[in-house]
């Protein structure tokens, strides 16, 4: 039998004897084990022995990535009967899809019926059929597509019905508009559908102008070009020009303002607002635009000005928002209006902006919580009763605003009771599930992204209600047992009515982490909360920007921290070793936490986005600023990724503290207050990378 040992992706080759001795000396200084993680315990980061066909699967993955169909076909005999043969067959079929006959595609779908890869290929085929506008074949296959999570396919489906039936219902037209407006980029699937609906006057041209405005605000010129081009291709050159020099366009406009010119002026003002809100506000103060633009156009521009100002933490933001009508603003404007009003303590504006949000947005925990907080400021019995109703609806230990709502209701955060233990039958059902077995096999041999996609499909996407709750708990338990921690956590989080916090908040590498954190006075719950968000406990995790390991440390940060904590013989490749990664990650976190005077939200923001940004968000401009509740400060973080990160890390930390100590916890206490640096604090460590 031809076997070889596979290391997890990103893992290192075995250390030389000299490097082992050097590493032993280093880790002895910092109080961690001398061996790299893979050698220390097979349970934490096991090596995998490749069996027959496994190596061929890895070679096929490379052939697929290189678009080499001949090599794929040559390797296919080696994987016949292999557990991952459906994946291999998908790779081969996917590369030939554009030239394959309908009969060839259907033979594949029949051969792998019921698997993820049947649905995956049908997704790809439907996209191809939609782009070709082969509506007859599309409509024949569309009812068999189970995943139904592709927005481009939903546009093709509506287009197919429009092309074959001649019209869409009012709800279908509204769905088409939502799908197009929700697209981040200028994708091609929805544009032809919208073009036909505009031509048939089933959609208001104002929709296209609003789409163009969003593109201008977000500096997505292709979105602007596509939207304006659907209205009139002759306007595209002007729209493109004003995106690069909106101020020049505004200064050179003719006095006569026609309809399309008004819209292009609005587009220019929106684009200027995204780069220079003060100049845009000065333009809006001119009598010319006050009289010639509609109320909707003026309100949108003020929303764009306020949004940029709020993201820059400018105190003028609330006044600029207030010059427009909230009902005419984009939902992004309204969200930032609430954030700016929270920062300024303008609770009446919080109520006003949230009231203008669509119902689905108002129901989100973020805005439900802040609406309740604003209502409590009114102090009337009706307002207090309504606030309590809001808190009760979202109160939960499972999320940031759920935990805050619990505390507003006077409830401490504790670990909820575990659900009834899984039966042996439930455990066996998960172990024998073909899709889950394939997913775990793929992950085990190094095909992580392929395995994760199939796992997610089987546990969530392929049936209307998803996998039943007890089956989800059993699947999560299987992933935990196999130490595939990211699938363990993510699957357990999907249970709608019960929560197993041992699954949702696992504590792998516990001995190493507790030894390290206790020796340096660092809260173990905080470290666990951060690692859970950073890597989901995947030892060899590697981000698209180059961060590595459990604590996702960047190479430059690793080198800097190694010097600071005394790892004199550290080499960049050492960061992939578990204990070294923990030592450097916790060392850096402690330095950041100390520099920010023990503030957990500030340190988490600095860990994610860099200390210099966290300092600016703490006290912009001249270093002065308001002292804010930690929750208000976190909600005002300009980067959506970092804002979400800080919330999740702090909510994780609170849950881990409850698990590790068995005592009730407070998220508010961990958030604390955030304001300018204390005069008594030590000087800032400006060398922090």
What is the reported pLDDT for 610?
Answer: 96
- CB 161 within 8 Å of CB 168: yes
Q: SS3 of 601, please? A: helix
Reading phi first (left if > 0) and then psi (alpha if -120 to 50, else beta), residue 676 is in beta
Q: pLDDT tens, 667-681?
A: 999 999 999 988 778
- CB 33 within 8 Å of CB 40: yes
Residue 395 domain flag: no
Same domain flag for 444 and 573:
no
Reading phi first (left if > 0) and then psi (alpha if -120 to 50, else beta), residue 498 is in beta
Residue 170 domain flag: no
Is this model's pTM higher than 0.85 or not? yes
Q: pLDDT tens, 512-570?
A: 999 999 999 999 999 999 999 999 999 999 888 899 999 999 999 999 999 999 988 89
Q: SS3 of 342, please? A: helix
Same domain flag for 494 and 519:
no
Measure the CA–CA gap between 636 and 336, rounded to whole angstroms.
Answer: 8
Same domain flag for 549 and 614:
yes
Same domain flag for 557 and 591:
yes
Residue 494 domain flag: yes
Nearest to 172 by CA among 194, 141, 205: 194
What is the reported pLDDT for 124?
Answer: 98
Inform me whether the pLDDT recorded for 15 exceeds 90.
Answer: no
Residue 646 domain flag: yes
Same domain flag for 475 and 538:
no
Catalytic residue among 118, 450, 454, 534: 534
Same domain flag for 493 and 558:
no
CATH number reported for the structural domain that contains residue 620 in this entry:
1.10.530.10
Residue 461 domain flag: yes
- CB 322 within 8 Å of CB 310: no
Same domain flag for 486 and 619:
no
- The confidence band for 255, taking pLDDT boundaries of 50, 70 and 90, is very low
* Residue 471 C-alpha from the chain's centroid: 26
- CB 674 within 8 Å of CB 599: yes
For the chain, what is the mean pLDDT? 90
Annotated catalytic, 534? yes
Lowest average pLDDT, out of 19-28, 90-99, 209-218, goes to 19-28
What is the reported pLDDT for 438?
Answer: 97
What is the reported pLDDT for 488?
Answer: 98
What is the reported pLDDT for 665?
Answer: 98
Measure the CA–CA gap between 435 and 441, rounded to whole angstroms.
Answer: 10
Beta carbons within 10 angstroms of residue 254's beta carbon: 7
What is the reported pLDDT for 465?
Answer: 60
Q: pLDDT tens, 304-338?
A: 999 999 999 999 999 999 999 999 999 999 999 99
Write down the number of H helices and E strands in the chain: 41, 4
Inform me whether the pLDDT recorded for 128 exceeds 60.
Answer: yes
CA distances from 511 to 317, 516, 536, 658 (A): 49, 9, 17, 18
Question: Domain count of the chain?
Answer: 2
What is the reported pLDDT for 286?
Answer: 87
What is the reported pLDDT for 46?
Answer: 47
Q: pLDDT tens, 569-583?
A: 899 889 989 999 999
Helix (H) or strand (E) holding 4: strand 4-6
Domain end point (choices 488, 504, 520): 504
- Range 650-679 average pLDDT: 96
Same domain flag for 489 and 578:
no
What is the reported pLDDT for 680?
Answer: 78
What is the reported pLDDT for 291?
Answer: 83
DSSP 160-181: HHHHHHS---HHHHHHHHHHHH
| Domain region containing 539 | 510-674
What is the reported pLDDT for 664?
Answer: 97
Task: List, in sequence order, the alpha helices (H) in 543-639.
Answer: 555-564, 578-595, 600-609, 611-618, 630-635
- The confidence band for 450, taking pLDDT boundaries of 50, 70 and 90, is very high
Nearest to 28 by CA among 568, 470, 625: 568
Measure the CA–CA gap between 327 and 329, rounded to whole angstroms.
Answer: 6
Q: pLDDT tens, 593-611?
A: 999 999 999 999 999 999 9
Q: pLDDT tens, 300-310?
A: 999 999 999 99
- The confidence band for 41, taking pLDDT boundaries of 50, 70 and 90, is very low
Residue 172 domain flag: no
Same domain flag for 551 and 457:
no
What is the reported pLDDT for 209?
Answer: 96
Same domain flag for 529 and 431:
no
Beta carbons within 10 angstroms of residue 74's beta carbon: 14
What is the reported pLDDT for 252?
Answer: 65
Lowest average pLDDT, out of 37-51, 403-417, 637-651, goes to 37-51
* DSSP conformational letter for 29: H
Q: What percent of the chain has pLDDT over 90?
A: 81
Residue 409 domain flag: no
Residue 173 domain flag: no
Measure the CA–CA gap between 590 and 600, rounded to whole angstroms.
Answer: 10
- The confidence band for 151, taking pLDDT boundaries of 50, 70 and 90, is very high
Inform me whether the pLDDT recorded for 361 exceeds 90.
Answer: yes
Same domain flag for 534 and 456:
no
What is the reported pLDDT for 658?
Answer: 98
Domain end point (choices 460, 481, 504): 504
Beta carbons within 10 angstroms of residue 678's beta carbon: 8
Domain end point (choices 469, 504, 539): 504
Measure the CA–CA gap between 672 and 603, rounded to whole angstroms.
Answer: 12
What is the reported pLDDT for 341?
Answer: 98
Same domain flag for 442 and 540:
no
Residue 358, classified by CB atoms within 10 Å of its CB into exposed (0-12), middle (13-18) or buried (19+), is exposed
């Amino acid at each position: 039998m031809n076997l070889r040992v596979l290391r997890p992706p990103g893992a290192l080759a075995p250390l030389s004897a000299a490097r082992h001795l050097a590493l032993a000396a280093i880790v002895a200084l910092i109080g961690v084990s001398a061996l790299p993680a893979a050698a220390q315990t097979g349970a934490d980061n096991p090596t995998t022995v490749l069996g027959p066909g496994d190596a061929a699967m890895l070679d096929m993955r490379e052939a697929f990535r290189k678009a080499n169909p001949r090599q794929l076909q040559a390797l296919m005999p080696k994987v016949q009967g292999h557990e991952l043969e459906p994946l291999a067959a998908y790779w081969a079929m996917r590369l030939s899809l554009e030239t394959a006959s309908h009969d060839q595609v259907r033979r594949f779908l029949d051969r792998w019926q019921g698997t993820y890869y049947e649905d995956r290929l049908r997704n790809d085929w439907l996209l191809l059929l939609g782009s070709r506008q082969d509506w007859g074949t599309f409509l024949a296959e569309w009812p068999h597509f189970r995943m139904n999570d592709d927005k481009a396919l939903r546009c093709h489906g509506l287009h197919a019905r429009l092309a074959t039936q001649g019209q869409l219902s009012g709800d279908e037209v509204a769905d088409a508009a939502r799908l197009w407006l929700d697209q981040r980029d200028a994708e091609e699937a929805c544009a032809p559908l919208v073009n036909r609906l505009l031509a048939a006057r089933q959609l208001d041209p104002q929709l296209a102008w609003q789409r163009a405005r969003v593109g201008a605000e977000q500096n997505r010129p292709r979105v602007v070009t596509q939207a304006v081009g659907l209205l009139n291709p002759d306007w595209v050159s002007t729209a493109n020009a004003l995106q690069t020099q909106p101020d020049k366009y505004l200064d050179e406009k003719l006095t006569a303002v026609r309809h399309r010119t008004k819209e292009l002026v609005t587009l220019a003002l929106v684009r200027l607002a995204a780069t220079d809100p003060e100049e845009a506000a000065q333009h809006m103060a001119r009598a010319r635009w006050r009289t010639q633009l509609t109320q909707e156009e003026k309100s949108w521009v003020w929303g764009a000005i306020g949004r940029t100002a709020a993201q820059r933490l400018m105190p003028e933001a609330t006044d600029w928002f207030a010059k427009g009508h909230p009902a005419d603003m984009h939902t992004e404007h309204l969200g930032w209006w609430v954030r700016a009003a929270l920062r300024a303590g303008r609770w009446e504006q919080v109520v006003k902006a949230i009231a203008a949000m669509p119902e689905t947005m108002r129901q989100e925990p973020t805005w439900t919580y802040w609406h309740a907080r604003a209502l409590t400021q009114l102090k009337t019995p009706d307002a207090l009763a309504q606030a309590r109703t809001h808190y009760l609806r979202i109160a939960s230990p499972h999320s940031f605003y759920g935990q805050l709502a619990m505390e507003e209701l006077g409830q401490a955060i504790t670990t909820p009771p575990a659900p009834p233990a899984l039966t042996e039958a439930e455990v066996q059902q998960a172990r024998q599930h073909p899709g889950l077995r394939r997913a775990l096999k793929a992950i085990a041999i190094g095909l992580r992204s392929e395995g994760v996609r199939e796992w997610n499909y089987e546990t969530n996407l392929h049936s209307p209600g998803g996998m039943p709750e007890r089956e989800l708990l059993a699947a999560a338990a299987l992933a935990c047992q196999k130490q595939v921690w990211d699938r363990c956590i993510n699957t357990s989080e999907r249970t709608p009515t019960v929560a197993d916090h041992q699954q949702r908040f696992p504590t792998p590498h516990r001995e190493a982490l507790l030894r390290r954190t206790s020796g340096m006075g660092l809260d173990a719950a905080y470290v666990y909360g951060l690692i859970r968000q950073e890597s989901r406990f995947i030892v060899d995790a590697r981000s698209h920007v180059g961060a590595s390991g459990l604590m996702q440390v960047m190479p430059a940060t690793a080198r800097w921290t190694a010097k600071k904590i005394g790892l004199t013989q550290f080499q960049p490749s050492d960061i992939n070793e578990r204990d070294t990664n923990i030592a450097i990650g916790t060392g850096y976190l402690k330095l950041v936490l100390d520099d920010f005077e023990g503030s957990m939200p500030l340190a988490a923001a600095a860990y994610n986005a860099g200390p210099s940004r966290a300092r600016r968000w703490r006290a912009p401009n001249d270093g002065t600023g308001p002292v804010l509740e930690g929750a208000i400060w976190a909600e005002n973080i300009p980067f959506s990724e970092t804002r979400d990160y800080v919330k999740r890390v702090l909510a994780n930390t609170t849950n881990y503290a409850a698990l590790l100590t068995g005592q009730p916890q407070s998220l508010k206490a961990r958030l604390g207050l955030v304001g300018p640096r204390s005069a008594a604090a030590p000087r800032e460590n400006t060398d922090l990378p």
